[in-house]
Structure 1
Amino acid sequence: MTQVQNPPVTTTTTTAAGKYVGQAVDRVDGAVKTTGEARFAAEVPYANVAHAALVHSTVSRGRITAVDTTAAAAVEGVISVITHENAVRMRPPSKVSPIDIDSMASGTTVNYLNTDQVSWNGQPIAVVVAETPHAAHEAAGLVRATYEVQPSTVDFKAEAPNAEPQPSSLILPSGGSKGDAEAALAAAPVSVDLRFTTPMHHHNAIEPHATTAVWDGDRLTVHEASQSVVWVRKHLAHKFSVPAEGIRVIAPFVGGGFGGKANVWAGTILTVLAARMTGRPVRMLLTREGVYRTVGGRTPTIQRVALGARSDGHLTSLIHTSVSQLGRVGGMAEPVTSQSSHLYAADNLLLKQEIVKLDQIANTSMRAPGEAIGTYAIEVAIDELAAELGMDPIELRMVNEPETDPLHGRKFSHRMLREAYARGAERFGWANRSPEPGVTRDGRWLVGMGVATAYHPSFQLRANVTVRVSVDGGVLVRCGFQEMGMGGATAQAQIAADALGVPFESVRVEYGDTALPLAPMAGGSAQTASVATSLLAACEKLKKSMLELAKKSSESPLRGARAADLSARDGGLFHGGRGETYASILARAGIPSVDAAIGSETRLGDLVGNMRFMSKFLMDRRRWVKAACGAQFCEVRVDADTGEVRVSRWLGVFDVGTVINAKTATSQLKGGIVMGIGAALSEESLVDPRHGRVMNPSLAEYHLPVHADVPRIDVEYLDVPDPTMPLGLLGIGEVGITGVAGAIANAVHNATGKRVRDLPITLDKLL
């Protein structure tokens, strides 16, 4: 029997070059959030504000034949009960176009309250507007609908055999192949052929979806819990046939999103509709159950991973297939197999994704869509193959670490996975792990270690930015990006301070408002890099303007300077030991401020921007594979009698390029790991296979990790820049969750000898 020992662990990181970039700078919004001064979407004060609540369908498919609102309308304080019988007409959602990313704004294709058709169990069929939230919810519970029920298909597992190939698109490939993977598998000396399942998951952000809407004629102001104010504005302009320029969407603070607040869902549209019809400001804060009923979650999956190898561990075949779910009214097909085209140097590959369409709400993106659940299957399969080969799991991964992209032969723009594993193994004490399962104990606890690879692609979206330097030395950065708790404004202030050579405290960032320059949605771990690209360009443009302004003065020490030779420091421009501050340049010229802008806000500029984005996106994808990656190490303890699983130690070593803020980066990576622990051990949306209704739509029954479930988490990052990305950063919001479930499943096997291939890993699967 081997006795487990826990080596001492300390958190250490390196920082990127720069006075502010790489440092652990406190969040600029930290004070207002911790003191309660921050106003979220449901907290913005308006006089005479009314409150709205939704009524949900109780059938999964059918036609509404009657709606009885008599009892609801009689509740004291009720202003209006809006159904498909009296709602004003709205335009249906636009068709999705692969060349227009904004067309993906709508969560579903349903034209809410403009149809008598029901497409899933929980679809909103009425909205009650009242003087108080209590009256609105009481009345909503009294609305009675009758239906002509139609046959429905809601059972994912039962329908999986009828899956059809997932259509491929410019943005979401549906698979790929190289060689004959099935034949190579059959001929391989050592192989595994495994089936995995993952359940439906739902977002549970600390702030439920919320909207406050105010009309003034055809002008509309919306306070929204959103990951993309631009998408909300464009979609509402389309729905209500008003100019987008007359709509202002404001979201300075968003209490978590994780993909659930990326699209526009029913609550937003129906709040705006209610405000339009009542002539009052209207607010709707979804109940926790309302989020489950009206906002899509992560698709369930059935996955096959088959690996064939030579006796030395070299992979001769890698097969990864998936079946996932879409609603008949829309949804995003998750790229479940995407990481498997990049992770291992197999001679033959087969990647295939299939879908089944059900009478359920459209699923949507959820932190690391595809990779979060795809890495679970491939990483457990690698661990099982290592056991068959009698190899260490890390050694097997390193034997198959590719030099170029295995599927298409493209270059990696940056990849330091070997270094991440080497550093993590030494620091975690991997050499102390017993390769024999079930022999390491600590009292009643069976103890095991597991590893898995983390992986998430990196890319950039469009962003318009303006930068202003004022005569008082202050710098104003303006961009309508989103802040959901990740410290986005702080990071951009750090970048601007370094680029302009000014103190961090002198930079102010305005964000989260469509009155500001257009910004990308907060998704795909792309926001920081996207905004940084334009911000750096704007800063360079501003410095050139300041130099030209300085040269106009005969007193300026920069008269002979060239822009290429300038440095920015001490609040100004310097060349050859000579220089002056921005404030002195502006004061001498008698100008209060100078602005620089990147991007255009016109319709033509928007069209050109979209075309340039798609062109660059496709060109980059043909040339490079860009991704953040890492090594997840975990230790678990399993009660030998009860099967209770406790994650007792965690170390993640990540290659995420340049880290902009050491404090917020660590927080983001830890948050992803915590979310992965939930997916591995407890999270599961339970769907009635007869009626398609989510049966556990609350935090009492949908089990998220609590403090007792989360161990000390140590995070380290290599902090080596990617030369193809702005400042070398790759993105960190999502890579933290990838590989987590695989590492836990592998550790559970090392502790108990039992393989669990169906998430979550609950007590019944270990007893």
Structure 2
Amino acid sequence: MTMSDTYDTPDTRDMLDRTRQGVIGKPLDRPEGGLKVAGQATYAAEYARESCAEGVLVGATISTGRVTAIHKDEVLAMPGVLGVYAAPQMLRRPAQGTAGEAPLQDPSRVDYPMQPVALVVAETFEQATTAAKALRIDYDDASTSARFLPTHETAEAAKEPVTAGDLEAALRDAAYVIDANFTTPGHASAAMEPHAAVAEWDGDDLTLWGSLQMIAFNVAELADSLGIDPDHVRILSPYVGGGFGSKLGISHEAVAASLAARELGRPVRVVMSRQQVFQSIMRRSETVQRIRLGAGADGRLTAFGHEALVSNLPEESFSEPVTQASEFLYAGNNRLLAVRKSDITRLTAGSVRAPGEAVGMQALEVAIDELAIAMNLDPVELRKRNLPETVPGEGTPYSSRRLVEALDAGAAAFGWDQRSPTPCARREGEWWIGMGMSSAARVNILAKAEARVTLTAQGHVVVETDHTDIGTGSYAIFGQIAAEMLGQPIDRTTVKLGDSLLPAGSGSGGSWGASSTGSAVFYACEAIRATLAQALGCSADDLILQDGKAWAEGVEARPVTDLLTQDLTRTGRIEPGELMEKVNQSTYGAFFCEVAVNAFTGETRLRRMTGAFGFGRVLNAKTARSQCIGGMVWGIGSALTEELSFDTRDGHLVNHDLAEYHMPVHADIPPMEVILLEERDADASPLQSKGVGELGICGAAGAIANAIYNACGVRLRDFPMTPDKLLADLPDPFAPAA
């Protein structure tokens, strides 16, 4: 039996507020946490398969062109080498989530530096590595015709611009105008676990152990790349050591391992080095943004312009949706929002955690701060004055929107009233001290998902779906939903994930996983509850389940197991409907931070940070807090340290490891306060929850930039804000205090 629903009507029943088990929303530990800290959770590269050979990818040494010859014989004679394979079907780019999206190209074609073009397989990893380094490849080098820098001259519209009213006229008439340009560099996902795959064939059937986010889609992608029926592909990915968008689609290691394993007739493992991950797995595009804001004397926006230049490989349709939050966040009836894409010869650009808002909002929130200062208005108040009643230019209503509450709660907890609006007003020794803030906003998405739930005759609950856990807490959350709905203690609940033989969940990406697959779990449990109610002789609405017992008003409590003669299994499905178009469903929050800027060196140290967030029902307070903190850390990196650096002569990535791509470490992170604003959003999902995984990034870097200005009076619009960019404009450190 399957309970299915296209989500077109808001679910206002508050079902999870009427259940009795009391585990939903609680800060429960991850059930797999013990395995992970003890090193017993098996990740993709760790599966021990008998006679497993080791493969190492070889990257192109030209920027673009064609492979004309691979000198295999030289390395085939080396110790332990089993095979050398060209890339007849290896993806030239990671897929973006759907099979067939990237049609097969000329198999010899090279599109960017260090693109994997061959695989060397040997008995041991060391032998394969030695042979891969020795492999000679000839090329027809077309690098002289390549473009390595994005330019407006070569850019085309990524999508139809959003326009309303007359922006230019509104800017001319505005009492206050901000017209500023911002730049953000490319970013890497840099997941802790590198991309890895172990492939094994049994006749025509392939099993792949991989590190992937979207298994149902990944099966179709892998089958498409191999030219086989998806029914012959099984993918297992129960534990994923981070993805952040980089593992949404299959990439080179999965296809290469599968091809080599089929040719050799034995399992093959391919693990990318950290450098290969940086060089051949998708990046976040760099951006050049122009933001124009016009406001009247009353502090209300009348003009709103946000234009961006991004880049990608030719023929790639993905473009960083920089203006995504600008479409709905602030008022301004006269507007222009536009994104243009320039084709360049660099590593593929794709989805990196919070695509669009992560870089768009950090620039927007600085521009809003500049407007507040120009108007001598508190930045919090300016934002409050410019929250529209409906989406500007559309008239679409909003679902729940806790932005004002987030601004107020964050300001109160942080002590925003202690901030001086005058830069350089506070100094401690050789450090200027300042405060800054910004809004947070992220679109909410409900995705198609399916899950199977079984209530066993012994009263145990089993949840099954191919959904992945990339560190977000899926094992905990799905177990809590099922335990709450079926009135069983959490320790009698088991969650099975990451196997393509299980019902297809939504996958982990876009902050849609918990609400989407969680809603499928919810529906499956509702179907079980209906059957139990019938056995008890009451209506489903009157049924009460708690601690393994079932009862209703006027009906004596009985053990649930007394109502079961066998295991009771139901499958729930959900898919989005027109409601997503009829109502703007987004998540909101606010950041407040304090920084210290060294008066002599320009070094910035974050001293404390507060984030307040509203994202519907909180399903697990501990995992939600963890996601918010993780997002804020990403914001710190975006503001202060992270930057992909490409050689403009040939497009190759210069800082291709964690030694040179500088991410914040523990020593960089101050005390972080997270405030979770409980709310219910019936428009968003049956759970009345929304996604939180990416919200904590969106706008965070802007708050830090604003705090730096408040500290030392230097306004930077070029991220990251490294000391060298601050030094030239810092106040005289020896000047007497004002």
Q: TM-score, normalised by structure 2?
A: 0.93
Pick one of 560, 563, 567 that aligns with 1:585.
Answer: 563
2:612 equivalent to 1:653: yes
Q: Counterpart of 1:455 in structure 2: which amino acid?
A: A
Give the match for residue 721 of structure 1.
680
1:311 CA drift (Å): 1.4
Q: Which amino acid aligns with 2:79?
A: E
Instruction: Compute the displacement of 1:592 (Å).
Output: 2.6
Aligned to 2:50: 47
Question: In structure 2, what is the equivalent of residue 31 of structure 1?
Answer: 34
- Following TM superposition, by how much is the alpha carbon of 1:361 offset from its aligned partner in structure 2, in angstroms? 2.8
Residues 522-543 of structure 1: CA distance to partner in whole angstroms, max 9, x if unpaired? 0110000001211111111112
Q: Which residue of 1 aligns with 2:495?
A: 509
Q: Which residue of structure 1 aligns with residue 572 of structure 2? A: 598
Q: Does 1:741 align with 2:701?
A: yes
* d(CA) in 2 for partners of 1:267, 1:684: 25
CA–CA separation in structure 2 for the residues paired with 1:411 and 1:317: 21
Which residue does 2:10 correspond to in 1? none
Matched to 1:674, the amino acid is V
- 1:574 is aligned to 2:557: no
Counterparts of 2:100 and 2:512 in 1: how far apart (Å)?
17
Q: Which residue of 2 is the match for residue 763 of structure 1?
A: 723
**Alignment deviations for residues 264-306 of structure 1 (CA, whole Å, 9 cap, x no partner):** 1112111111111111100011000110222111001111100
Amino acid aligned to 2:78: V
CA distance in 2, matches of 1:574, 1:457: 41
Residue 134 of structure 2 aligns with an amino acid whose one-letter code is L
Aligned equivalent of 1:155, options 148, 157, 166: 148
Change (3 A) 1:339 1:104: farther
CA distance in 2, matches of 1:705, 1:95: 26
Q: Where does 1:361-372 land on structure 2 (aligned, <5 Å)?
A: 361-372=347-358
In the alignment, which residue of structure 1 is the partner of 2:591?
632
Equivalent in 498, 514, 521 of residue 507 of structure 2 = 521
SS at match of 1:547: helix
Alignment of 1:225-624 (within 5 A): 225-330=211-316, 332-548=318-534, 550=535, 558-559=536-537, 561-578=538-555, 579-586=557-564, 591-599=565-573, 613=576, 616=577, 619-624=578-583
CA–CA separation in structure 2 for the residues paired with 1:36 and 1:565? 45
Residue type matched to 1:470 in 2? T
Report the Cα distance in structure 2 between the residues aligned to 1:593 and 1:660, rounded to whole angstroms.
27
* AA at the equivalent of 1:598: G
Provide the secondary structure at the position in 1 that maps to 2:373: helix
**Which residue does 1:673 correspond to in 2?**
632
Shift of 1:329: 4.8
What is the CA–CA distance in structure 2 between the aligned matches of 1:401 and 1:547, rounded to whole Å?
A: 46
In structure 2, the residue corresponding to 1:420 is in which secondary structure? Answer: helix
Question: Do the aligned partners of 2:100 and 2:224 also contact (CA within 8 Å) in 1?
Answer: no
- Aligned-partner Cα distance in 2 for 1:714–1:516: 38
In 1, the alpha carbon distance for the partners of 2:17 and 2:275 equals 44
More divergent stretch after superposition (711-720 vs 575-584)? 575-584
SS in 1 for 2:690: coil
Residues 469 and 593, structure 1, Cα contact 8 Å, conserved in 2: yes
Cα separation, 2, equivalents of 1:684 and 1:105: 32
Code of the residue aligned with 2:532 in structure 1: it is M
Gap runs ≥5 in structure 1: 1-14, 168-173, 551-557, 600-608
- Given that residues 328 and 360 in structure 1 are in contact (C-alpha distance below 8 angstroms), is that contact kept between their aligned partners in structure 2? no
Do the aligned residues in 2 keep the contact of 1:248 with 1:515 (CA within 8 Å)?
Answer: yes
Between Structure 1 and Structure 2, how many residues are aligned? 707
Instruction: For residue 110 of structure 1, report the CA deviation from its aligned partner.
Output: 5.2
Unaligned runs of 5+ in 2: 1-15, 728-738
8 Å Cα contact 2:522-2:572 kept in structure 1? no
Task: Determine the structure 2 residue equivalent to 1:182.
Answer: 168
Shift of 1:105: 7.4
Corresponding letter in the other structure for 1:306: R
2:642 maps to what in 1? Answer: 683
CA apart distance, 1:455: 0.7
* Cα 1:235/1:254, change in 2 over 3 Å: same
Distance 2:703 2:254 in 1: 38
Could you tell me whether the CA contact under 8 Å between 1:110 and 1:329 is conserved in 2? no
Distance 1:49 1:682, change over 3 A: same
> How far has the Cα of 1:598 moved from its partner?
2.4
Shift of 1:580: 2.2
Secondary structure (helix, strand or coil) at the match of 1:452 reads strand
Alignment of 1:699-714 (within 5 A): 699-714=658-673
- Aligned residue for 2:206, secondary structure, equals strand
Distance (whole Å) between structure 2 residues aligned to residue 562 and residue 751 of structure 1: 63
2:13 aligns with: none
Distance 1:693 1:95, change over 3 A: closer
1:142 corresponds to 2:144: no
What TM-score comes out, normalization by structure 1 length? Answer: 0.89
Tell me how large the CA RMSD over aligned residues is. 2.0
Question: What amino acid does structure 2 have at the position aligned with 1:576?
Answer: E
Please tell me whether the aligned partners of residues 99 and 221 of structure 2 are also in contact (alpha carbons under 8 angstroms). Answer: no
CA contact (8 A) 1:328 1:362 kept: no
Cα distance between partner residues in 2 of 1:91 and 1:359: 19
Alpha-carbon distance in 2 for matches of 1:568, 1:684: 52
